[in-house]
Structure 1
Amino acid sequence: MKRYLYLWHRWLGIGLCLFMALWFFSGVVMLYVGYPKLTPREHLAHLPALDLQDCCIDLGTALHSANSERAPLSIRLTTVAGAPRYLFSYPGRSTVAVDARSGERLTGIGEDQALAAARQYQPMVSAHYRGSVQEDLWSHSRALDAERPLHRVQLADAERTLLYISGQTGEVVRDASALERGWNLVGAWLHWLYPLRGIGLDGLWSNLVIYLSLAATVMAVLGAVIGVLRWRFTAPYRSGSRSPYRGFARWHHIGGLLFGVLAITWIFSGLMSMNPWRLFSSAAPLETSAYQGGPLQAQAFPLSAKQALAKFADSGLDARELEWRLIGGEGYLIGHDRSGRTRVLSMADGQVHTQLPQEMLERAAQAVWPQGHMRTERLQAYDFYYYARAEQSMLGHLDKRLPVLRVRFDDPNATWLHLDLYTGEVLGTLDQPKRVSRWLFSLLHSWDWLPLLQRRPLWDAWMIGLSVGGLVLSVSAVVLGWRRLRK
């Protein structure tokens, strides 16, 4: 039996040790340089003040021009390529843009529009058009699907920023500096095995990552068992060592004893990040659309964009973008300034508020699960399930403000909602499977544990130290595997 343990570990290791080394090395890079994305703060910081002179058509006309039989999921008024535009997003469909002055639905965004958007994003530098793509190295994210095709514009700024412009709306939807692109070649691009997506394996990529991770987990577990079996806990070997190996083999043996358990948890949690076989997808997730209290339609918003902008200005907010939102059947306009601050304009009383009343959000949330009970909690501090991450991390760009309202339902999946008191937005839905994923992925893979996260030098030392141990384990395996193959 032992012989088969050794053989399985050896040959799985020969096949996977290089992947392991790349995962550990690229994981360290990802601690500090994430996959390129345009964060909400970056988006707002590059927007000019909304200019509503000779503007705008009313929301009902804009919705009619969007020419959709379904109500949109979201409505924004922003500045694109120097002009105000309504942007409508729909489930499973491309984003729709409507010129806020003429009421014309915009289609076929071309080179001129893309360059105009780039000039708005960075007015003081020259821009060079680099064609359009459906998907490339820095635009694999599914969040961009509604914007494809994407126009690429290279800026001549100090960061040599590459912009991606929506082919549907003309809006800048991603930026990637030269620093991000360079480090990502040995960071996220390697870590997520994105090279496999560039050679015609896009449809198989997810399963390849899942089964490679599964095989690596089995290999690491076998290695841990063998490492314990080969270690002399009582009398040492004739050499005086408690390990029978020499050279790289000894490094591998001792490295496995010291870091093997951590290697297993990292590989296993990486596997869990892929949601293999839909383990963390509920069969019947709680439908949260009832929180709106109806479809997003113009009748709920009697105040015009110009009137709203004036009210926000009176409250001290220089709005760069407006967002229409329906909560419990009542209309609200959200104003965003360039720093990310928000104010809420109620359509019911015409007043501007910093936060929404908790009681109103609770009433709207009750409609999500009217037949059951719910409990609410106002969080004043971060906890295990609601916390902020560094901006470069996978979800670090999401704004996690405090206080926040947590709503717990007694539905079969024990669903939780996190509601933003500043905008009324549903920040996240956490049912039982997703909370399990929080333990098996976020905790085990990136050590999202508040005592460490809130002490960043300690968290950095912990993550880098363990990664170096895993790298020693993997590189020694590469050397041993190469020697075995040479024989």
Structure 2
Amino acid sequence: MSLTPSPSNSIAPGAGLSPAPRAAPRMSSFTRLARWARRMMFLTHRWLGIVLALLMAIWAISGITMMYVAFPDTTAEEKAAGLEPLDLSGCCDHVVLPGGVAIEAATVEMVDGHPALRWQGSESAGLASLGETALPPIDAATAGRIAAEHMSRAFVPSGRPTVEEIDRDQWTVYGRFRQHQPLYKASFADERGTVLYVSGLTGQIIQDTSAHERFWNWIGAVPHWLYFTALREIQPLWYNLVVYASALGVFLSVSGIYVGLIMWRKGKRWSPFRGIALWHHWTGLVFGVVTLTWVASGLFSMNPWGWFESDGPGEVIPNLAGRPLEAGDVEALYRALAANPQTGAVSAEVSVQGGRPWAILVRQDGSRERFSLPGLAPAPLDNNELTAKARTAKPASRIASAELITTPDNYHYAHKEERVVLPAYRVIYANADATRLYFDPRTGELVNFVDASGRAYRWLHYGLHRLDFPVLRSRPIWDVVTLPLLVGVSLLCVLGAWMGVRRLRRPAAGVKRGASD
């Protein structure tokens, strides 16, 4: 029998264990581009994650701390609580106001037991004595006495503090503290570990912290805002670092959501990954969008590239005043206080409204009221006066609505422990910005201004970053919703950071094995 196969029984070339070679399918330019873009998205997410995942994990974890401990800040109410009641007896025959300076604001308070005028100009500020004797210089000894008196009234008597002169530290790194340099840091040996900061310029308490605040802020606001003193004091460097790190974080989040969706339902468990990568995939699918909104709203908080620039109140402030503050207005204030002692008042400001000076008296609880000059009769505003103010503020704009509100609205409200002026007279104008003004009916002061840029910032930053929406604003509802989301985002970012570390260690391990061979 012949072993030569007949043509009908012959084996086709390539049959058996290896398939016959086939021509590769032709791909369109669009398909090749799509595959390349998908590959680049995967690689970008991987390597950008190695760089940023740890920082984003720090942002998320520190955000949990910030839910309960804010960055130290001395409120107007806290400052008033530590002030000495006004005593202008024997005042005010030898007052010397600063010459050649246009005073824009003036306040009468007690400084180290002496009545004094704190004044503010466009580029300078200072103190003027209202008594028969000159004020003592604001040095370490004076600052120590001021801090001790403030402590005894606002908190509990704690003896003399330890005082040191500084330019700034971790808790006075804001730019607004620079005008008060040198600062005097007064440290008390009390239970709360209180530290007060006294202005070397005006003798005011401009900041206070406790040991509790300082400890928790090192794992809260300081890493969250990258508020390390050496970095924060270089404003352009700090600003650009936060803006561009946040922008890259947005891209990392978008690419992660894309990769997560592309790989979803691939594999036996609806994911092709295993181990830590599997957990990262699932947490990304659940918390990826929240991560994106938080990092994007954090970027918005920096007003990047002027996106939320606004002219602010602009013409509103001079329109309401009617004229600039004059030296005669300041004199009318302190002479009225000397002639008409006000029990319980700890501070008095002069305010020009409608071309006329008024006195704004502040009580120790922080409450504010308007009084006439020179008689100091109470002068709260009625509805007609408030309506007239609304017309004066923006005479070219029609008023769409004006009313006295007693409860917060979406743009005039308090977040967590913050305070807001209520009742407030709200005016909404029928202009392109739908501008909103809020007045304090007890003092006539403008306490809030909101335009189109302000509304966008309110929703895109406060709304998305703090979940500051009306339905979620009250506690504990806000905590119940926000805390699990922050924990989930933290887990997502920590897993991504750990994957990045493992990825970086892999080539090094390969090199080590090669050397041993």
Stretch deviating more after TM superposition (4-13 or 418-427): 418-427
Q: Distance in 2 between matches of 1:158 and 1:95?
A: 35
Deviation for aligned residue 1:69: 2.8
Matched, 1:31 2:67: yes
* Aligned residue number for residue 150 of structure 2: 121
Q: Distance in 1 between matches of 2:229 and 2:112?
A: 35
Matched, 1:351 2:381: no
Matched, 1:248 2:281: no
Give runs of aligned pairs for residues 337-376 of structure 1, distance below 5 A.
337-347=363-373, 350-353=376-379, 355-375=380-400, 376=402
- The answer on whether the counterparts of 1:47 and 1:320 sit within 8 Å (CA) in structure 2 is yes
For the pair shown, the structure with the greater C-alpha radius of gyration is 2
1:261 to 286, 289, 293: 289
Deviation for aligned residue 1:99: 1.5
Q: Distance in 2 between matches of 1:419 and 1:105?
A: 36
What is the TM-score when the length of structure 1 is the normalising length? 0.89
Deviation for aligned residue 1:367: 3.0
1:13 to 43, 49, 55: 49
2:423 to 403, 426, 448: 403
Matched, 1:70 2:102: yes
Deviation for aligned residue 1:129: 4.0
- The answer on whether the counterparts of 2:336 and 2:373 sit within 8 Å (CA) in structure 1 is no
Percent identity between the two aligned chains? 34
* SS state at 1:280 partner: coil
Deviation for aligned residue 1:130: 4.3
Matched, 1:273 2:301: yes
Stretch deviating more after TM superposition (122-131 or 1-10): 122-131
Deviation for aligned residue 1:357: 2.1
Deviation for aligned residue 1:365: 3.8
What is the TM-score when the length of structure 2 is the normalising length? 0.84
Distance change in 2, residues 1:145/1:365 (3 Å)? farther
Deviation for aligned residue 1:222: 0.5
Q: Distance in 1 between matches of 2:349 and 2:179?
A: 18
Q: Distance in 2 between matches of 1:344 and 1:271?
A: 40
* SS state at 1:213 partner: helix
* SS state at 1:22 partner: helix
Deviation for aligned residue 1:268: 0.2
Q: Distance in 2 between matches of 1:147 and 1:154?
A: 18
- The answer on whether the counterparts of 1:308 and 1:333 sit within 8 Å (CA) in structure 2 is no
Matched, 1:480 2:499: yes
* Aligned residue number for residue 185 of structure 2: 152
Deviation for aligned residue 1:312: 7.3
Matched, 1:323 2:339: no
Matched, 1:98 2:128: yes
* Aligned residue number for residue 294 of structure 1: 323
* Aligned residue number for residue 439 of structure 1: 459
* Aligned residue number for residue 40 of structure 1: 76
Q: Distance in 2 between matches of 1:431 and 1:90?
A: 27
Distance change in 2, residues 1:250/1:194 (3 Å)? same
CA RMSD of aligned residues (A): 2.4
Deviation for aligned residue 1:34: 0.9
> Cα deviations across residues 356-390 of structure 1 (Å, max 9, x unaligned)?
22322332343332233234232222111111123
Q: Distance in 2 between matches of 1:372 and 1:271?
A: 33
Deviation for aligned residue 1:414: 3.7
Distance change in 2, residues 1:377/1:109 (3 Å)? same
Unaligned runs of 5+ in 2: 1-36, 507-517
Unaligned runs of 5+ in 1: none
Letter of the 1:67 counterpart: G
Letter of the 1:430 counterpart: V
Distance change in 2, residues 1:301/1:360 (3 Å)? farther
Letter of the 2:442 counterpart: Y
* Aligned residue number for residue 430 of structure 1: 450
* SS state at 1:27 partner: helix
Distance change in 2, residues 1:402/1:56 (3 Å)? same
